[in-house]
Structure 1
Amino acid sequence: MRSDAQLQSAQSWSRRVLLQAAGTLALGAGLGGTHTVAQAASLEVGRPAPPLVLHTVDGQSISTDDLRGHVVMLTFWATWCGPCHQELPILSEYAAKHARQGLRVLGFSLDEPASLPEVRQMAAGWSFPVGLLGSAYAGGYGRVWRIPVNFTIDRNGLLADNGWDSREPAWTAERLERIVTPLLR
């Protein structure tokens, strides 16, 4: 019988292998750009977070680099994702409650451009900007192969929570209080 430490090590290794395989597939499909998906496997809490730009549905561009000094949450979702429908209203309420403390949330939809009306409708009441990711590839965060997945960046631009490593991929009020609230102090 495996110990908890052995299981965690095996799960972590499995995630890295899956991400590296996804990277190989993404590169084969021409999605590689200057960062490979294998780099996402090396995302480490406490290290600089890869930059990413949200191109919002209303035509703005918001770069994580421009948000230095804020706590930034990146959330990847889609209109067809059931758990996203549960998570995103919770995240929106939390973001509105903590905006004065320097919290910024950027929502990246994996929907196709043809679904833009549904994206707009779903996000209409949210307290944070959203945009279409454009592909399943999210720069240094790798290929988004499961959703919801979230990443949190601290005020210094360091990765504070790596969604690929989370056993609880969706945000809950308790998880937000445990992980994000301390970063806002």
Structure 2
Amino acid sequence: MARQPESRGAGTPPQGLADPSRRTLIRRVAGLGMAAGGLLAQPARADALRLGQPAPPLVLHTLDGRDIATRDLLGQVVIATFWATWCGPCREELPILSAYAKRHAAQGLQVLGFSLDAPADLPKVRDVAATLSFPIGLLGSAYAGAYGRVWRIPVSFTIDRAGKLADNGWDDEQPAWSEARLRRVVAPLLAGKA
């Protein structure tokens, strides 16, 4: 039986945390929140992400065995999207994102799909991937390097043609892609506007 987190006052660290630094505490609480089924409101975000600064590198290990590194996609607009087969909002946004990616591939749009599914769910991931116009791979863990622990999905990060972070998914209140959001966030980047 899973142990329920105890109710504590604001700022009271959970017992057993030896390092009281704020960053370490937030990361540990984020981990507890994930383990507790997301009962805690909002785990830590990656601290190093800054709009207009170089985007941290990502490498997608695709289902067909290729490695696609964001650093090799300079000159293209890149959307790194994190999703799972069991996530309803993800499954709603994927066809929208796929259609948009297909329509704008000639303009230099590249979407990379990172699935948070477990390796045991690979057949389900493959079924979804077969319907999409962009490459998919399993993330392998909940950590995405400098993008932090992926604690909510869907979440996406957009990188401009110069390799700079243009949209930080952790800052989006409505993170799922819609046609309106794609027009607002991605269309100006494809048109060469910052």
Aligning the two structures, in what range does the TM-score lie when normalised by the shorter sequence? 0.7 to 0.9
Q: Please give the alpha-carbon distance, in whole angstroms, between the structure 2 residues aligned to 1:19 and 1:95.
A: 38
Structure exhibiting the larger radius of gyration computed from Cα positions: 2
Q: Which has the higher helix share?
A: 1
- Work out the CA distance in 1 between the residues paired with 2:112 and 2:80: 5
Q: After TM superposition, give the deviation of residue 22 of structure 1 in Å.
A: 2.8
2:133 aligned counterpart, secondary structure: coil
* Correspondence for 2:27: 22
Q: CA RMSD in A?
A: 2.1
How far, CA to CA, are the matches of 1:165 and 1:155 in structure 2?
21
- Equivalent of residue 138 in structure 2, options 132, 136, 139: 132
Q: What's the secondary structure of 1:42's corresponding residue?
A: coil
Q: Deviations over 1:35-71 (max 9, x none)?
A: xx97812311101100010000000000000001100
**TM, length-normalised to structure 1:** 0.81
Alignment correspondent of 1:91: 97
- Where do residues 1-185 of structure 1 align in structure 2 (5 Å cutoff)? 21-22=26-27, 40-185=46-191
Segments of 4+ in structure 1 off by > 3 A? 17-20, 23-26
Which structure 1 residue ranges, 5 or more long, are not aligned? 1-16, 27-36
In structure 2, the partner of 1:31 is none
Matched residues in 2 for 1:173 and 1:103: separation? 15
CA distance in structure 2 between the aligned counterparts of 1:18 and 1:75, rounded to whole angstroms: 25
| 8 Å CA contact retained: 1:83, 1:148 | yes
Residue by residue, what CA displacement relative to the aligned partner does 1:71-119 show, whole Å, maximum 9, x if unpaired? 0000000000000010000000000000000000000000000100000
Aligned length: 159
Structure 2 vs 1, CA of residues 143 and 176 (structure 1 numbering), >3 Å: closer, same or farther? same
Identity %: 65
